[in-house]
Every structure is written in structure tokens, then in C-alpha cells.
Amino acid sequence: MPKVISIGNKKGGVGKTTTAVQLAQALGKQGKTVLLDADEDLQCAVKWRSGDYGEWTFEAVRYSAASTADTHDAAFLVLDTKGGETGGDLLQLARQSDLLIIPTKPDGLSTDGLLETLGDLIAAGVQNYRVLIVANEGTRGEELREALAEQGIPVLTTIIRKSVAVGDAVADRKPLEGFNQYSKRVALDYSAAAREVLSSVK
């Protein structure tokens, strides 16, 4: 059975699709990986993966159109969830996944959204999730990571740096590692996060 890694957050604009695509790219080097794009309206992950770059390591398909043939022999399934999930959606998602990754930016609005997102999971005693801090500038990411850890909230050690090159890589339909030197640094961050993910789902 493949390991199912879902990416979700109640709040939009927190790097959910970037995280899904880059984790899938990193995990694809470890085994067959399929990204399931559940955002039926935008299909951002499928569009990003649609580029003809020769070193993509995973396939991306619409969640609603995925078949057994798409996921056959997959080692990893990465689910990029739709925007605006409810607490119940995320709770169900966590229960159906080996690991739920909750990306968040280290700013006030995103942190407020994170606390609301975590509320239902904590109340239900769910533990198979990890917070991933993305788009970090300065020391905010470290400060947030330490604050979450002090509250007993599982958070990945890796922090993803902020870079405008991410948007350029999306426009060019390439993974971060294949765009330029600035995006490659972010790709290295995601590779480190993927190693933490792997250790959590073994």
C-alpha cells in the first residue's frame, strides 16, 4: 500500500500547492509518486506539472479522474487538497492519511488560521500531522517553530525560505530545483522536509 501524505490548511495562500508539488518531486526520487490534485476549480498542481521539463519525478492527476492505473505500484500518494477545507474535512483527511502536512507562513494572519486549523485535530486527539513553516523571512520562522513546539504541537524542524523565484518556477512549469540558483535553495529546503516526512511515515 502506498504511503498517503496529504497537504491541507483551512487558510488559503499558505503555500499548499507549492508544498505538495515540491514534496512530490523529492519523494519521487525515492519511489513511484503520484500527486492527486483535489482542487477541481484551479488544478494548480496539475498545471504546474504539465511542463515538458525532462526531470519531473512524479505524475500529477486530477483527484476526481484518478484511476487504479494511475496509482498502481505507487510508493507515495501526495494529495493537494482543495482550498477552504473545514475542520471536519481536515480531521477526516488526517484519519485517511499516513501523514497530514499543514503548511503555514510565519505571519499573524497565517498563524491565526493555523490555530483554527489545529483546533479540531487537537480536540480529536489526532497526532499524525506536522506543521511546516514556509516562506520564512528573518527569524520569524524559528520563533514560530519554538512557540509551537513549546505547546506540544508537532512541527517539522525544516523551515522553507521565502523566494520570489517560486512564482517564476511555476510560470515556467518547472520544479524549483530546475529553475535557477535561488529556487534551487528552496528546493533543498523541501528535500530536507521530505526526509523528515519519510522518517515520520516509515
Strand order in the sheet with 155-161: 59-62, 33-37, 76-80, 3-7, 99-104, 129-136, 155-161
Backbone angles phi, psi at 15, to 5 degrees: 85, 25
C-alpha span between 63 and 67 (Å, rounded): 9
Find the helix or strand (DSSP H, E) in which 112 lies: helix 108-123
C-alpha cell at 45: 498542481
Residue 47 Cα to chain centre, angstroms: 16
Q: Do the beta carbons of residue 24 and residue 40 sit within 8 Å?
A: no
43-89 confidence digits (pLDDT tens): 899 999 998 899 999 999 999 888 888 898 999 999 999 876 766 88
Q: What is the bridge-based pairing of β-strands 129-136 and 155-161?
A: parallel
DSSP per residue, 39-58: -TTT-HHHHHHTS--TT--S
CA distance 59 to 61: 7
* Percentage above 70 pLDDT, the chain: 98
Q: Which residues pair with 130 in a beta bridge?
A: 101
Residue range 91-149, pLDDT digits in tens:
899 999 999 999 999 987 677 778 878 888 999 999 999 999 999 989 999 999 999 99
Strand partners, 62: 37
Q: Which domains does the chain have, with CATH numbers?
A: 3-194 (3.40.50.300)
Q: Which three cell numbers stand for residue 183?
A: 529556487
**What pLDDT is attached to residue 89?**
84
